[in-house]
Amino acid sequence: MNRRQLLIAGGISFLGSRLVFANRATERADIVVIGSGGAGFASAITAFDAGAKVIVLEKMPITGGNSQLAAGGMNAAGTSIQKKMGIPDDWKTMFEDTMKGGQNTNDPALVEILAKNSAESVEYMLSLGADLTDISRAGGAAHSRTHLPKGGSAVGFNIIHALRQNAIKRKMDVRTGSRAKALLQDKEGRIAGVMVSDRIGSLYTIEAPVVILASGGFSNSPELIRKYRPELASFWNTNQPGATGDGLMLAIALGAEVRDLDKIQVHPTQAANSKILISESVRGGGAILVNKDGQRFINELLTRDKVSQAELKQPDGVGILVFGEGTRNKLKLIRGYEHLELVKQASNIEALAEQVGVNGKALAKTVAAYNDYQKVKKDDAFDRPDMPYPIDTPTLYAIPVRPGIHYTMGGVVFNTKTQVLRKDGWIMGFFGAGEVTGGVHGSNRLGGNSISETITFGRIAGTQAAEYAKAVRKV
Ligand SMILES: Cc1cc2nc3c(=O)[nH]c(=O)nc-3n(C[C@H](O)[C@H](O)[C@H](O)COP(=O)(O)OP(=O)(O)OC[C@H]3O[C@@H](n4cnc5c(N)ncnc54)[C@H](O)[C@@H]3O)c2cc1C
């Protein structure tokens, strides 16, 4: 360790002008996992099950990260659930959809891993007690492959609950209020541990030959958004407060390569005047998107980048989701939006239009035309490929929305073994998974692919990290 690292390990560090004294003894582990979202928990549980001593650090007061907020679902192709429902799908189609959605700027080797392992990742989550037995369709997907709990409840809470319970059952060491402040290296540049700031700001060191970085994205960092995409500075975002990219900065400080940091996803349906994301499954489940003039303006099932760009060109740059009872009954998560008073409802289109400030006659005409297309399963206006329900039920619904910053596609460069790379190769002992990494989604992520990514790459990171830790373990 160099002088600064020794100082840190010895318990004294200068942070800015503040002198901070550590008051805890140095600890030891095989693996420190930074972050407790889908990627962090999946990697930690996998490594623990492979026999490693694992410590999970979470800077926020609760575990779960953005993963816990995920609503729409988890993409996977060729699952037992799809087979039961008679949905034809395979990993190659998921691969092609993902590459196309990412404008072919994704790393194909990583996408192949994502698609090939997706069905197994769903089975893994089912084995841990998650419910992924329902399916919906997300933008850019050739088939319905977005797995979510029965009745269409939000996926994130279900998955994180299962992971959390499994960590508790195993009596794993998961520390909330614990921020990774610096990564430590030995003289050869290999990972040597992590400096941690605890709930009251005291610093301590965990010596470990392996770190798995699973610290999520940076959509909630105004500084980083301004730096990489200044034109988005005024946008709201859908993320949890901890999605600030400080884990990414730790990796950069270690010399990790990064890619695509300017590829920031704007989601077309953040509820107006709120932080709440209206899941893509609402469009997939039958909602149309209209502008303030009551006109549809795009095939609602196109990818997020395309729908957002089109929406920003509409009057005031906003949209309104409109749907009927079929969509509402398919998706339990809409009850959550109702609970938050985000959903308007009425017994006829004109009354609904009035509530959301839209021209009623125009909206009635748009909805009638859509219902005609829906009946014959052919959308003459925008070629929408799937129209599961008409919008003609006794009660009709609308949610005003606008585009919001949602997801950061870029991150640390890593390989198919989840090793985090510097220009000259692997930073030994350093693995990464989830939103903090770059390359899986290219320029645009498909809805449902992120939860899938966190479980698949999290599991690979856990396996690889445990093997490496075993090989370098001294005792
Ligand atoms: C509202 C919403 C809905 C979404 N819906 C879907 C969906 O339906 N399907 C889908 O595929 N994707 C969805 N996504 C995207 C997806 O949820 C996330 O991209 C994914 O869960 C990220 O997982 P992760 O494990 O990489 O990061 P997170 O789940 O964000 O976990 C990272 C954790 O690391 C912690 N952390 C950060 N820095 C440090 C540090 N220095 N020390 C300690 N801890 C640290 C953070 O606090 C956080 O808890 C949604 C996202 C949002 C915001």
Read off the pLDDT of residues 264-297 as tens digits, 9 standing for 90 and up. 999 999 999 899 999 999 999 999 999 999 999 9
Q: How far is CA 45 from CA 82, 119, 191, 471, in A?
A: 27, 19, 21, 19
The span from the CA of 4 to the CA of 10, in Å, is 10
**138 domain residue, yes or no:** yes
Q: How far is CA 321 from CA 1, 76, 290, in A?
A: 56, 26, 7
- Reply yes or no on whether the pLDDT at 4 is more than 80: no
Q: Give pLDDT, residue 11.
A: 37
**436 domain residue, yes or no:** yes
- Distance from the CA of 36 to the center of ligand 1, in angstroms? 9
The span from the CA of 427 to the CA of 254, in Å, is 8
- Reply yes or no on whether the pLDDT at 14 is more than 90: no
26/89 same-domain check: yes
Atom of ligand 1 minimally distant from the CA of 73: 8
What are the φ/ψ torsions at residue 67 (nearest 5 degrees)? -55, -40
Q: Give pLDDT, residue 430.
A: 98
Q: How much is the mean pLDDT over the chain?
A: 94
Q: Give pLDDT, residue 309.
A: 95
368/456 same-domain check: no
Instruction: Name residues contacting ligand 1 (CB within 6 A).
Output: 34-40, 57-60, 65-67, 69-74, 155-156, 179-180, 214-216, 238-239, 242-243, 246-247, 277, 279, 407, 434-436, 447-451, 454
CATH number of the domain bearing residue 443:
3.50.50.60
Q: How confident is the model at residue 20 (pLDDT cuts 50, 70, 90)?
A: very low
**239 domain residue, yes or no:** no
**433 domain residue, yes or no:** yes
Q: How confident is the model at residue 421 (pLDDT cuts 50, 70, 90)?
A: very high
Range of the domain at 323: 266-405
Query: SS3 for 472?
Result: helix
**197 domain residue, yes or no:** yes
389/424 same-domain check: no
**Which residue has a Cα nearest atom 12 of ligand 1?**
450
**353 domain residue, yes or no:** yes
What is the number of other CB atoms lying within 10 angstroms of the CB of residue 367? 24
- Reply yes or no on whether the pLDDT at 3 is more than 60: no
**Which residue has a Cα nearest atom 27 of ligand 1?**
216
- Residues 230-256 as b/e (b if ≥16 CB within 10 A, e otherwise) read eebeebebbbbebbbbbbbebbeebeb
- Distance from the CA of 353 to the center of ligand 1, in angstroms? 35
386/432 same-domain check: no
Which of 231, 396, 223 shows the shortest CA–CA distance to 320? 396
How many structural domains comprise the chain?
2
**260 domain residue, yes or no:** no
CATH number of the domain bearing residue 334:
3.90.700.10
Q: Give pLDDT, residue 23.
A: 59
Q: How confident is the model at residue 21 (pLDDT cuts 50, 70, 90)?
A: very low
176/200 same-domain check: yes
Q: How does pLDDT run across 195-217, given as a tens digit for each residue?
A: 999 999 999 999 999 999 999 99
- Reply yes or no on whether the pLDDT at 234 is more than 80: yes
Q: Give pLDDT, residue 471.
A: 96
* Region 390-398 average pLDDT: 97
418/398 same-domain check: no
Amino acid identity, residue 186? D
Active site members: 304
- Distance from the CA of 217 to the center of ligand 1, in angstroms? 7
Task: Give the single-character DSSP code of 73.
Answer: -
**245 domain residue, yes or no:** no
Q: How confident is the model at residue 124 (pLDDT cuts 50, 70, 90)?
A: very high
- Reply yes or no on whether the pLDDT at 385 is more than 60: yes
**Which residue has a Cα nearest atom 20 of ligand 1?**
67
38/179 same-domain check: yes
Q: How does pLDDT run across 30-73, given as a tens digit for each residue?
A: 999 999 999 999 999 999 999 999 999 999 999 999 999 999 99
* Region 247-270 average pLDDT: 97
* Region 131-156 average pLDDT: 94
% of the chain beyond a pLDDT of 70: 95
Q: Give pLDDT, residue 152.
A: 87
* Domain end marker among 380, 405, 430: 405
* Region 113-140 average pLDDT: 96
27/122 same-domain check: yes
Angle, alpha carbons 11-32-219 (nearest 5°): 100
203/67 same-domain check: yes
The span from the CA of 141 to the CA of 37, in Å, is 25
- Distance from the CA of 67 to the center of ligand 1, in angstroms? 4
Q: In terms of pLDDT, which residue wins out, 408 or 153?
A: 408
* Domain end marker among 365, 380, 405: 405
190/278 same-domain check: no
- Reply yes or no on whether the pLDDT at 16 is more than 70: no
- Reply yes or no on whether the pLDDT at 346 is more than 50: yes
- Reply yes or no on whether the pLDDT at 123 is more than 80: yes
328/461 same-domain check: no
* Domain end marker among 405, 440, 457: 405
Q: Give pLDDT, residue 474.
A: 65
376/432 same-domain check: no
What is the DSSP annotation of 205-217?
Answer: EEE-SEEEE----
